[in-house]
Amino acid sequence: MDVQLRASDDDRHRMVAELQRHTAAGRLTLDEFAERAGAVWTARTLGDLAALTRDLPPPAAPIAADPSAEHGRRELLVIFAAAALTLLLLGLVLAAVR
């Protein structure tokens, strides 16, 4: 991977999904996720994106999962996404009020 190549929106979406997986695994707090997810959208190169997960293990090879476990993970991801969105909106409201 040439770290000087410009990052695409698809690259950024994949990075946010990876950060969500690390957060769901307990490697990142919600605050750390919010900080890194914000940095994803300002990253210009693939190297900038890679720096955001440099301290995290690489994604593991997919393992055949129990379908009921996948449903539980999806539900948790939806709850997490709602919480992250709430934090973002709260930050915007607080910034607007000041």
CA R_g for the chain: 15
Domain count, the chain: 1
> In this model, does residue 3 exceed pLDDT 70?
yes
In the chain, what percentage of residues exceed pLDDT 90? 68
Question: pLDDT for 16-54, tens place per residue?
Answer: 999 999 999 999 999 999 999 999 999 999 999 999 999
As a whole number of Å, the end-to-end CA separation of the chain is 43
Residue 2 lies in a domain: no
Query: Which pair of structure tokens corresponds to residue 22?
Result: 């690390």
Domain ranges, residue 27: 9-97
Residue 41 lies in a domain: yes
Of 83, 75, 72, 79, give the one whose Cα is nearest residue 30. 83
> In this model, does residue 92 exceed pLDDT 80?
yes
Say how many C-beta atoms besides its own lie within 10 A of residue 36's C-beta.
20
Residue 3 lies in a domain: no
Q: Among 42-46, 60-64, 93-97, which range has the highest average pLDDT?
A: 42-46
| Total length of the chain | 98
**Mean pLDDT score of the chain:** 88
Model pTM above 0.85? no
